[in-house]
């Protein structure tokens, strides 16, 4: 028995190593271990033990654990299978969006993707840090969809197995069965919420200051531990603004010192090289929202950079639980070969009207010092994907709909539970509870 | 009692706020209770005007508020407040020219900003980085340094070359402070305010020295720029600044910064308190311009006695409306009409969105009676220590270091 278990662990270890190697964090980890090996902490004659010890003492074990944690997270998302009707609804939605993208292209006589000319590339490069001065006519473009279009789709989701029970009130928009039979089960399913603990950003204003102090002290301890699962646990009760950047980076496993710069550089190069229709949508969205808003205008230039790079980030589409639809597009005027074909949009995300605003919090938090540090801010895509896309995933949708139901019913008994969810906007400590499944 | 008001400023925020309270607008010849006047108020106070206000009349200016709002006089008063200056960083030209040159020689690489004393809205301001440029300017201006001929005097101060930038742009802060009395000092700071951003990225190179869109944050300057956006007007709320700083720099340093700003304001008021002709009929709202440098140190740039009530954006209008409303709420005693015999201690509810900065009456009261927390003075009041004075109260015209005994003396004064 033990032998089988050992073997199992061995196989998993090999699998993890294989998967880790191409990951961005690997380079940094490897470099640090190399450094350790050549230091005096590691002895030639007692190589294995002294190395293990050194790894532990120098905090690398912690990094390793974090990497495994991220690995497990990604694995988990791969194995989730949603309800069939959800999948169907998603495919339908994706088709609809792609169709309207294509018809906008036809109408305006433009292409989804083409190479930029040298002149165009130079122009963009020159304006890169002040994109608000980048002259491109987007007057004819319009946002592909608004959040309310999407909400409508969500509210119309119908589970074929849903039956309306006698004696239950008629809800306007609930065609999904609850996953639980009664309140007791509901409490069991959401134990964390049912404990009635205070969550930062919800509840009365007066009590918040003390809670925030408390969370800051605890949060600083969590950060010194540098262990992602603990940070995730911590986030569930809300994270004070001042610690968000560090906490989010830790949970998402981003912000490594070796690879970020290069990673960002590659995304930027992709932007400089290819002229994608999605760029105009991004520019349009920023112009419609952030540029004119007294809360966001200051960050306009940074938002352009981040949004454009984000749209090129293929890791997003890879990590999405419910693979969104995407197109394979051949560059304008090129032969239909593999190297002339690109995934469109590369990130799989087609921005809706107001999408940029969703970025704001992350940008502000992670772009800590100046625009030069923007590479750090690239860590946002993963966060963002978690934030925007879990809303499509089963449980998040169900939670939302339950909230709607109970809101309607004005069921007082549920109020306590509900208060944990109420404030789930971005920019709020409570949000993060939604990002983790 | 019927309350009447008189204003020579036809601003809707003023009239709307007064009329909301059921007050009636009248002309200057009629009997009025509350006056909001921008010009001509001086004659009211002069002996030969023969006008004397009765107990139920109040007015929104102190007779000689220019002691704080004129650039050169603020410098003078603050210097007097800190008699033991070791080092000057602001001078009045042409009077202090020789002193300036001496100071200039100590750090010839620094930049200086020249501002005409009596003007506002950024007009006539320029930067210099070489003495020769100043000399050329004095030659070129019609009446060089001959006070008897020169119509305009200038203040020259060390330019803050390392302002805090957000999104690569320079900004300054506009905060509002209401003073209902100078002796004893009673002052309130408005919770709301805004940052005014430049439209062009900051660049301290010599080539951009004359580009006012880079250096001056005044809306009156920026609105002529091609990048100006009338929807937000380059204004971001102070609350957002706070959130931004908390996210990027941490909560503790952000709190310290805002505490320091409150201190800076309190000190500037204490500096002028002895020379303001105090009059129980008066109250005044000041617009404070503050620049934060990249080490998160606040610097006082200027105090305006008639801060603009013009609204450039929708949010601006909301803010200014609220400002006026809250001012009236503080200055009117509980009886509902002006009465100078009132002790000018508003209830906490009446303060609305104002925070108490300092009320020397209350400090005495509290000392005498130890009355717990009926009126809690802004927390920072009690954090008065030497550290605070050394690090917070650097006004752009103050020396970097103060003599220790000064700090102690201030403690006693309070
Ligand atoms: N010492 C300084 N260092 C850096 N910038 C400064 C300094 N003094 C002034 N400025 C900049 O110049 C602008 C104009 O200065 P100031 O407010 O003193 O002039 P003003 O003409 O009286 O303007 P207003 O009356 O509209 O406030 C300020 O808003 C600030 O951006």
Q: What is the CA radius of gyration of chain B?
A: 22
Residue, of A334 and B391, whose pLDDT is higher: A334
Hey, of A131, A242, A362, which one would you mutate to test binding to chain B, going by the most B CBs within 10 A of its CB? A242
pLDDT value, residue A38: 87
Distance of CA A157 to the CA centre of its chain: 24
Contact A241 B232 (CB under 8 A): no
Tell me the residues of A at the B interface, defined by beta carbons under 8 Å apart: 129-130, 132-133, 212, 216, 240-242, 244-245, 291-295, 297-302, 364-365, 367-371
Q: Do A294 and B251 touch (CB under 8 A)?
A: no
B248–A294 CB contact, under 8 Å: no
Q: Which residues of B touch A301 (CB under 8 A)?
A: 167-168
pLDDT in tens, B34-81: 666 444 444 444 444 455 677 788 888 887 777 777 777 777 777 666
Q: A71 is written with which tokens?
A: 């690995």
A144/A1: higher pLDDT: A144
Choose, out of B167, B202, B243, B316, the residue to mutate when testing the contact with A (most A CBs < 10 Å): B167
B248, B254, B256, B319, best to mutate vs chain A, most A CBs in 10 Å:
B248
Distances in whole angstroms, Cα of residue A185 to Cα of each of A174, A414, B37: 19, 13, 69
pLDDT digits (tens, 9 = 90+) for B108-128: 888 888 888 777 788 889 898
Residues of B contacting chain A (CB within 8 angstroms): 165-169, 197, 201, 227, 229, 231-237, 240, 243-244, 246-251, 254, 313, 315
**pLDDT in the model for residue B271:** 81
Give residue-wise pLDDT tens across range A188-233: 877 777 777 777 876 666 678 888 899 999 999 999 998 888 988 8
Question: What per-residue confidence (pLDDT) applies to A99?
Answer: 92
Judge: A292–B232 Cβ closer than 8 Å, yes or no. yes
Inter-residue contact A228 to A250 (CB < 8 Å):
yes
**Nearest CA distance, A128 vs chain B (angstrom):** 13
For residue B168, which residues of chain A lie inside 8 Å, CB to CB?
129, 301, 370-371
Q: Ligand 1 centre and the CA of B398: distance in Å?
A: 16
Q: Which two tokens stand for residue B43?
A: 């004659």
- pLDDT score recorded for residue B76: 72
Q: Which residues of B touch A245 (CB under 8 A)?
A: 247-248
d(CA A2, nearest CA chain B) in Å: 50
Ligand 1 pocket, residues with Cβ under 6 angstroms: B 113, 115, 119-123, 125, 157, 159-160, 172, 216-218, 289, 291, 301-302, 304, 396
Reading the block at residue B184, the tokens are 């004893």
Between strands B354-359 and B186-197, the pairing is: antiparallel
Dihedral angle at the C-alpha atoms of A84, A88, A94, A99, nearest 10 degrees?
170
Q: Which residues contact B303 (CB under 8 A, 6 or more apart)?
A: B68, B69, B74, B268, B286, B287, B288, B289
- Domain spans of chain B, in order of start: 4-63, 86-158, 163-354, 361-413
Using DSSP bridges, classify how beta strands B90-93 and B154-158 pair: parallel, antiparallel or unpaired: antiparallel
Provide the token pair at A93. Answer: 């939605």
Q: Which stretch of A15-19, A116-120, B169-173, B192-196 has the lowest confidence by average pLDDT? A: A15-19
Pairing of strands B34-36, B58-59: parallel
pLDDT of residue A272: 95
Task: State whether B313 and A365 contact (CB < 8 Å).
Answer: no
- Nearest chain B Cα to A247, which residue? B247
Tell me: pLDDT of A68 over 70. yes
- The residue to mutate among B301, B306, B312, having the most atoms of ligand 1 within 8 angstroms of its beta carbon, is B301
- Model pLDDT, residue B85: 36
Predicted local confidence at residue B387, as pLDDT: 27
How do strand B4-7 and strand B34-36 relate by DSSP bridges? parallel
Q: State how far Cα A227 lies from the chain centre.
A: 19
Contacts B240 to A, Cβ<8 Å: 295
Atom of ligand 1 nearest to the CA of B220: 26
DSSP letter at A390 equals T
Name the minimum distance, in Å, from the CA of B201 to any CA of chain A.
9
The distance from CA B327 to its chain's CA centroid, rounded to whole angstroms, is 16
Q: How far apart are CA A356 and CA A299, in angstroms?
A: 11
The count of other CB atoms within 10 Å of the CB of residue B101 is 13
Contact between residue B300 and residue B89 where contact means Cβ atoms under 8 Å apart: no
* Token pair for B80: 């007097």
> Cα dist. B165→A367, B168, B198 in Å?
13, 5, 10
Q: What is the DSSP string of B354-396?
A: EEEEEEHHHHHHHHHH--TTSS---GGGGG-SHHHHHHH--BT
| Secondary structure element (H or E) that encloses residue A16, with its range | helix A2-20
Max avg pLDDT among A81-85, A175-179, B37-41, B296-300: B296-300
A420 CB contacts (<8 Å, ≥6 apart)?
A: A193, A199, A202, A430, A433
Provide, rounded to the nearest whole percent, the portion of chain A with pLDDT above 70.
73
Q: What is the pLDDT of residue B142?
A: 53
Out of A240, A295, A367, the one facing B251 most closely (by C-beta) is A240
> CA of A184, closest CA in chain B: separation in Å?
39
The predicted pLDDT at position A424 comes to: 32
Residue A247 C-alpha, separation from nearest chain B C-alpha, in angstroms: 12
Amino acid B195: pLDDT: 96
Between helix A2-20 and helix A24-37 the angle, nearest 10°, is 110
Could you give the count of Cα atoms lying within 13 Å of A430 in the half-sphere of its Cβ?
18
Hey, are the CB atoms on B236 and A241 less than 8 Å from each other? no
From A216, A292, A364, residue closest to B247, measured CB to CB: A364
- Give the ranges where A190-275 is alpha helix by DSSP (H): 191-194, 205-225, 228-235, 241-252, 260-273
Angle at A315 between CA A312 and CA A321, to 5 degrees: 120
B169 contacts A365? CB cut-off 8 A? no
pLDDT along chain B (414 residues), means of 10: 76 85 80 57 46 76 74 71 50 79 84 82 87 78 51 79 92 96 93 94 89 90 88 92 87 92 87 82 90 91 84 90 94 88 90 92 74 44 29 28 25 24
The per-residue pLDDT for B36 is 60
CATH of domain B163-354: 3.30.470.20
Q: Tokens at residue B345, please?
A: 């201690």
| Structural class in CATH, domain B86-158 | alpha beta
Q: What confidence tens digit (pLDDT) does each residue in A155-170 have? A: 777 777 777 777 766 6
Instruction: Output the pLDDT for position B396.
Output: 28
pLDDT of A437 higher than 60: no
Q: Percent of chain A having pLDDT more than 90?
A: 14
Cβ-based neighbours of B134, under 8 Å, separated by 6 or more: B112, B114, B128, B156
Q: Is the pLDDT of residue A65 over 70?
A: yes
**How far apart are alpha carbons A106 and A100 in whole angstroms?**
10
Would you say the CATH fold of B163-354 matches that of B86-158? no
Distance from CA of A292 to the nearest CA of B (A): 6
Residue A330 confidence (pLDDT): 85
Q: Indicate which atom in ligand 1 lies nearest the CA of residue B122.
A: 21
In whole angstroms, what is the distance from residue B217 CA to residue B233 CA?
A: 11
Distance CA B2, CA B173 (A): 39
Binning pLDDT at 50, 70 and 90, where does residue A277 land?
Answer: very high
Query: pLDDT tens digits, residue range A355-386?
Result: 887 666 555 555 443 333 333 333 333 333 33
């Amino acid at each position: 028995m033990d032998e089988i278990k050992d073997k199992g662990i061995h196989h998993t270890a090999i699998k993890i190593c294989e998967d880790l190697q191409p990951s961005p964090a690997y380079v940094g980890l490897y470099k640090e271990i190399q450094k350790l090996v050549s230091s005096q902490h590691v002895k030639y004659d007692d190589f294995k033990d002294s190395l293990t010890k050194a790894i532990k003492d120098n905090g690398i074990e912690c990094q390793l654990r974090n990497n495994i944690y991220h690995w497990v997270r990604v694995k988990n998302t791969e194995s989730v299978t949603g309800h069939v009707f959800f999948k169907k609804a998603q495919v339908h939605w994706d088709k609809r969006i792609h169709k309207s993208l294509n018809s906008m292209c036809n109408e305006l006589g433009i292409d989804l993707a083409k190479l930029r000319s040298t002149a165009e590339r130079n122009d963009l490069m020159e304006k890169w840090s002040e994109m608000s001065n980048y002259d491109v006519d987007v007057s004819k473009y319009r946002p592909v969809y608004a959040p309310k279009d999407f909400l409508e789709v969500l509210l119309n989701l119908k589970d074929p197995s849903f039956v309306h029970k006698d004696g239950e009130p008629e809800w306007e928009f609930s065609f999904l069965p609850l996953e639980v039979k009664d309140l007791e089960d509901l409490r069991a399913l959401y134990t964390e919420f049912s404990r009635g603990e205070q969550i930062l950003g919800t509840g009365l204003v007066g009590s918040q200051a003390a809670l925030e102090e408390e969370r800051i002290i605890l949060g600083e301890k969590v950060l010194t531990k540098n262990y992602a699962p603990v940070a995730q646990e911590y986030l569930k009760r809300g994270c004070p603004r001042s610690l968000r950047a560090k906490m989010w980076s830790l949970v998402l496993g981003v912000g490594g010192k070796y690879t970020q710069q290069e990673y960002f550089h590659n995304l930027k190069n992709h932007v400089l090289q290819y002229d994608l229709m999605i760029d105009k949508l991004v520019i349009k969205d920023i112009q419609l929202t952030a540029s004119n808003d007294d809360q966001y205008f200051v960050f306009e230039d940074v938002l352009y950079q981040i949004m454009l790079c984000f749209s090129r980030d293929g890791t997003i589409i890879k990590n999405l639980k419910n693979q969104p639809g995407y197109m394979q597009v051949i560059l304008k005027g090129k032969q239909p070969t593999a190297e002339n074909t690109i995934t469109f949009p590369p990130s799989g995300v087609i921005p809706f009207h107001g999408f940029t605003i969703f970025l704001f919090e992350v940008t502000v938090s992670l772009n800590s010092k100046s625009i030069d540090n923007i590479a750090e801010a690239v860590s946002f895509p993963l966060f963002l994907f978690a934030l925007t896309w879990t809303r499509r995933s089963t449980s998040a949708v169900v939670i939302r709909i339950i909230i709607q139901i109970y809101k309607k019913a004005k069921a007082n008994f549920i109020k306590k539970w509900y208060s944990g969810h109420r404030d789930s906007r971005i920019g709020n400590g409570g949000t993060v509870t939604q990002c983790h499944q | 009692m019927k309350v009447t008001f008189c204003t020579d400023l036809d601003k809707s925020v003023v009239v709307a706020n007064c009329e909301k309270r059921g007050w009636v607008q009248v002309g200057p010849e009629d009997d009025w209770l509350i006056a909001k006047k921008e010009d001509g108020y001086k004659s009211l106070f002069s002996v030969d005007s023969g006008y004397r206000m009765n107990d139920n009349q109040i007015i929104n200016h102190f007779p000689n508020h220019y002691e704080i709002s004129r650039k050169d006089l603020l410098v003078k008063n603050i210097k007097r407040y800190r008699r033991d200056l070791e080092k000057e960083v602001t001078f009045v030209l042409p009077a202090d020219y020789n002193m300036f040159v001496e100071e200039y020689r100590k750090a010839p690489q620094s930049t200086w900003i020249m501002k005409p004393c009596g003007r506002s809205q950024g007009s006539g301001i320029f930067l210099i980085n070489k003495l020769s440029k100043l000399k050329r300017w004095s030659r070129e201006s019609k009446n060089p340094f001959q006070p008897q001929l020169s119509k305009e005097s200038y203040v020259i101060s060390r330019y803050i070359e390392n302002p805090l930038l957000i999104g690569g742009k320079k900004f300054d802060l506009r905060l509002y402070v209401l003073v209902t009395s100078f002796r004893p000092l009673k002052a309130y700071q408005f919770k709301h305010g805004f940052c005014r951003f430049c439209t062009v990225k900051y660049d301290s190179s010599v080539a951009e020295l004359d580009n006012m869109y880079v250096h001056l944050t005044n809306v009156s300057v920026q609105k002529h720029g091609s990048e100006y956006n009338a929807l937000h007007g380059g204004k971001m709320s102070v609350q957002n600044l706070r959130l931004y700083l908390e996210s990027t720099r941490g909560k503790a340093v952000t709190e310290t910064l805002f505490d320091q700003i409150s201190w800076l304001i309190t000190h500037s008021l204490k500096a002028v308190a002895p020379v303001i002709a105090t009059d129980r009929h008066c109250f005044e709202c000041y617009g404070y311009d503050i620049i934060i440098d990249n080490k998160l140190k606040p610097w006082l740039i200027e105090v305006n006695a008639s801060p603009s009530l013009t609204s450039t954006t929708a949010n601006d209008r909301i803010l200014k409306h609220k400002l006026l409303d809250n001012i009236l709420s503080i200055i009117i005693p509980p009886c509902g009409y002006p009465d100078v015999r009132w002790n000018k201690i508003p209830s906490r509810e009446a303060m609305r969105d104002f925070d108490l900065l300092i009320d020397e009456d209350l400090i005495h009261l509290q000392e005498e009676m130890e009355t717990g927390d009926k009126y809690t003075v802004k927390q920072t009041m009690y954090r008065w220590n030497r550290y605070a004075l050394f690090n917070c109260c650097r006004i752009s015209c103050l020396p970097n270091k103060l003599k220790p005994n000064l700090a102690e003396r201030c403690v006693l004064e309070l």
